[in-house]
């Protein structure tokens, strides 16, 4: 995989999060002769995208259960977006860090390393168990991402 761009996004006062864009690898619709499970997987993907869109942009739900459902779907979608960045960093050798102009390069690098260290501690259980789809390898103790910093206005 080519190098990627990771954004250091401010969430509030002294709070930041790492973000990366999802890959442009849109999966084609299953062929008419695709197997049962492939068709069902695509059906679930379409339903999930519709549920996320409705939870974020749909009409305001009025019932308690509907509001709870929208909240849960939004939280799960946010969690998946956070994980996407970590999954991306596991697969690459270097990443370009884009950060707000009011941060110095040193501050942005320090914040990024702290966020990655927190993620490594939080997800430490996975370092000890095999990762599906990675040939039985264990997850690395470090995310193997050499973060090259670039200010937000540099691009």
Q: Give me the phi and psi of 3, to 5 degrees please.
A: -60, 155
pLDDT in tens, 46-82: 898 889 988 888 777 778 898 899 999 999 988 888 8
- Predicted local distance difference test score (pLDDT) of residue 151: 45
What is the C-alpha radius of gyration for the chain, rounded to an integer number of angstroms?
19
Helices 36-57, 64-91: inter-axial angle, 10-degree rounding: 120
Residue 150, domain extent:
4-154
Mapped onto helix, strand or coil, the DSSP state of residue 154 is helix
Judged by phi (left if over 0) then psi (alpha if -120 to 50, else beta), residue 130 lies in beta
- Predicted local distance difference test score (pLDDT) of residue 83: 83
| pTM summary value | 0.59
The total domain count for the chain is: 1
Residue 84 has pLDDT above 60, yes or no: yes
């Amino acid at each position: 995989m080519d190098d990627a761009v990771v954004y250091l996004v401010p969430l509030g006062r002294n709070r930041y999060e790492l973000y990366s864009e999802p890959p442009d690898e849109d999966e084609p619709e299953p062929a008419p002769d695709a197997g049962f499970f492939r068709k069902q997987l695509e059906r679930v993907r379409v339903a999930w995208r519709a549920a996320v869109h409705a939870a974020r942009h749909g009409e305001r739900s009025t019932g308690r259960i509907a509001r709870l459902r929208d909240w849960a779907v939004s939280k799960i979608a946010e969690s998946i977006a956070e994980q996407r960045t970590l999954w991306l960093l596991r697969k690459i050798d270097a990443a370009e860090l884009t950060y707000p102009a009011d941060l110095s390069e040193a501050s942005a690098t320090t914040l990024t390393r702290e966020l990655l260290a927190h993620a490594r501690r939080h997800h430490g259980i996975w370092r000890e168990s095999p990762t599906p789809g990675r040939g039985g390898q264990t997850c690395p103790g470090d995310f193997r991402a050499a973060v090259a910093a670039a200010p937000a206005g540099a691009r």
